[in-house]
Amino acid sequence: MSRPLVAVLWLVAAGAVVFAAIQIVPYGRAHENPPVTAAPAWDSPRTEGLVRGACYDCHSNETRWPWYSYIAPASWLLTRDVDEGREAMNFSEWDFTPEEAALVAVAIEEVVRDGEMPPREYRLMHSGARLSEAEQQELIDGVQASLGE
């Protein structure tokens, strides 16, 4: 065998060993969805549907965990994203005063308009999160009607 081929085979073998070894790391496998304790009162089923499709996997306790969320390193990334999303704002543990909820509505409008939420990498894997401009406006209007003062 030629040297380059041997080197490639060694790299592939080493990669397979590393991939197998990282599966042992426990972080990212416990996909628990805590109970829903409170939720916003949505102004319409349409608003709730848009928010669920674009936001709930990271910003609620109703995360849908896809098959690849059980395989490292994807499991690590998804768990981190969900942990951070729930910490930032969790629709399933809604404990905002009306004044705070109005500020949340403004923040949601800003990140949706700026294209920050849902994140691009999430939209790539979840077609329901790819909102048209009209759907983005519907989501913003519905969130304002539901949470705004």
142: in domain: yes
Check residue 148 and give its pLDDT: 81
Selection from 121, 149, 148, 133 nearest residue 50 by Cα: 133
- Residue 78 — φ and ψ, nearest 5°? -65, -40
3: in domain: no
73: in domain: yes
- Mark the ranges of the chain whose per-residue pLDDT is less than 70: 26, 149
Structure-block tokens of residue 2 = 């030629």
Check residue 149 and give its pLDDT: 66
60: in domain: yes
Selection from 147, 48, 51 nearest residue 95 by Cα: 147
Range of the domain at 70: 28-147
The Cα–Cα gap between 108 and 21 comes to 40
10: in domain: no
Distance of CA 40 to the CA centre of its chain: 18
13: in domain: no
142 contacts 136 by C-beta, under 8 angstroms: no
Domain count, the chain: 1
Check residue 4 and give its pLDDT: 83
pLDDT in tens, 26-50: 677 778 899 999 999 999 999 999 9
